């Protein structure tokens, strides 16, 4: 839910969230409308492998690292590549530690 609020605040869209694994460590954010796509008309053929919206993956990964959660964030579908939606996959690499840090 926090992800949906953050996307709404900063990008003006609300992604839907879907779980991709039974363990609960993988999920997808699905954007029906990606506002970053409005800034690109068409990717040139020599740059077809460019993932223009990969900026979102970096922002999500950085935000998770700020709260000490290691994750792999990748694009699964991209509207710029002809897909119907933009889908970002997030996989947590390890569970947060249950122990509290020692204080001096």
Please indicate, yes or no, if residue 13 is contained in any of the structural domains: yes
Structural domain boundaries enclosing 1: 1-36+49-92
pLDDT digits (tens, 9 = 90+) for 10-68: 888 899 988 878 777 899 999 988 888 777 777 778 877 778 788 889 989 998 888 88
CATH (domain of 13): 3.30.1380.20
CA–CA separation, 66 and 22 (whole Å): 26
Name the domain count of the chain: 1
CA–CA separation, 75 and 32 (whole Å): 14
CA–CA separation, 12 and 14 (whole Å): 7
**Residue 10, SS3 per DSSP:** helix
* pTM for this entry: 0.78
């Amino acid at each position: 839910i926090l992800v949906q609020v953050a996307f709404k605040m900063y990008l003006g869209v609300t992604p839907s969230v879907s779980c991709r694994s039974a363990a609960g460590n993988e999920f997808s954010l699905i954007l029906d409308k990606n506002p970053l796509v409005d800034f690109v008309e068409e990717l040139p053929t020599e740059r077809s492998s460019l993932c223009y919206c990969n900026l979102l993956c970096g922002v999500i990964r950085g935000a998770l690292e700020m709260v000490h959660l290691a994750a792999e964030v990748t694009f699964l579908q991209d509207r710029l590549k002809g897909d119907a939606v933009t889908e970002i996959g997030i996989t947590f690499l390890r569970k947060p530690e249950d122990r509290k840090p020692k204080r001096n």
